[in-house]
Amino acid sequence: MTPKIYHQIQFDIQEEFYDLAVGCLYDFPITGIEEGLDELTVTLISGITAEDVSGEMLSRLRTMNIDCSVKEVNHIVEQNWEKQWEESLQPIQVSESIWITPSWKKDSVDGKYVIVIDPKMSFGTGYHPTTRMVCKMVEQSVTPDSIWLDVGTGTGVLAILAVMAGAQSCIGFDVDEWSIENAQENVQINNVAVKVLIEQGDVATFEYKDYDGIAANLYRNLLIPALPKFHKALVKKRGSLIVSGILIYDADEIIHEAQKAGFGLVLKTVEGEWCAIQFSIGE
């Protein structure tokens, strides 16, 4: 049998626009998206070439004010992608007690919290510094029977960790349909469906209630406008806000805007070019 030929388009896009870009491209004939350093590589379904869709993709992205360009176009021959992908994913030790592992590696790790994540194209495998930093903060901040919200849930890893660490319940929501499907699967795999609810929702329009804690792994342009809503949702219970997805160059601005919204700075951690910040309700 003649192997199929797939076409890849590599877009030059800043990391803070990844979520928005993926959402813009969801209805194109795509079989996979890979995140790199300031680039997204889109693999088209067999039979579709870059010439067929690249112009329309660029136009769609630019209408959302995403500064982007086509960096490179490649042609690849079909291989056993699933096997290669599975072999590339290894368990990640996030802290002394937290492991994130694909299901086929679960038996090789031992920890207080072993979170099984079988990712698709959604964010939150444990390989990114922001996921690791927020996991550590969530572990240290969850109190027994607390109610949490996971904003931009991705694979659902933070919502799953919150209830494993003792939260009464956690709602995770994301705007991306792929993420919702994947997070729901991961909730089932980890046997926490009774306590974790995954919904589709937008940061700007979600109906926030009262929470003991909010974890928001978001880019700067989504995070800053949401800070007053987060404060209102946490003020009654004097809850904690944990944010990440933040480049170190934006940290001072995020802290300033959070303080304007009524938060007090508790902790900032840095890994590479990324940081995570924890806030409390200010006096």
Tens digit of each residue's pLDDT (9 = 90 or more) over 8-30 = 999 999 888 888 888 888 889 88
> Does 34 share its domain with 151?
no
Question: Does the residue 30 lie in any domain?
Answer: yes
Domain final residue, candidates 20, 45, 79: 79
CA distance 267 to 234: 17
Domain of residue 64, residue span? 5-79
Q: Choose among 32, 250, 10, 256: nearest CA to 130.
A: 250
> Cα–Cα distance between 62 and 244 in angstroms, integer?
26
Give this prediction's pTM: 0.73
Q: Is 102 part of a structural domain of the chain? A: no
**Would strands 92-93 and 30-35 be described as parallel, antiparallel, or unpaired?**
unpaired
* 212 and 132 within one domain: yes
Do residues 134 and 258 both lie within one domain? yes
pLDDT digits (tens, 9 = 90+) for 160-204: 999 999 999 999 999 888 889 889 999 999 999 999 999 999 999
Residues 40 and 145 in one domain: no
- Which positions ≥6 away from 221 have C-beta within 8 Å? 16
Q: Which two tokens stand for residue 95?
A: 């802290």
Taking only the tens place, the pLDDT of each residue in 106-161 is: 888 888 999 998 866 445 566 788 889 999 999 999 999 999 999 999 889 999 99
Q: Count the residues in the chain.
A: 283
Order of all β-strands in the sheet with 39-44: 30-35, 39-44, 5-13, 68-77
Task: Establish if 121 belongs to a structural domain.
Answer: no
Neighbours of 167 (CB within 10 A): 25
250 contact partners, CB below 8 Å, separation of at least 6: 220
CATH code for the domain in which residue 154 is found: 3.40.50.150
Do 69 and 170 lie in one domain? The reply is no
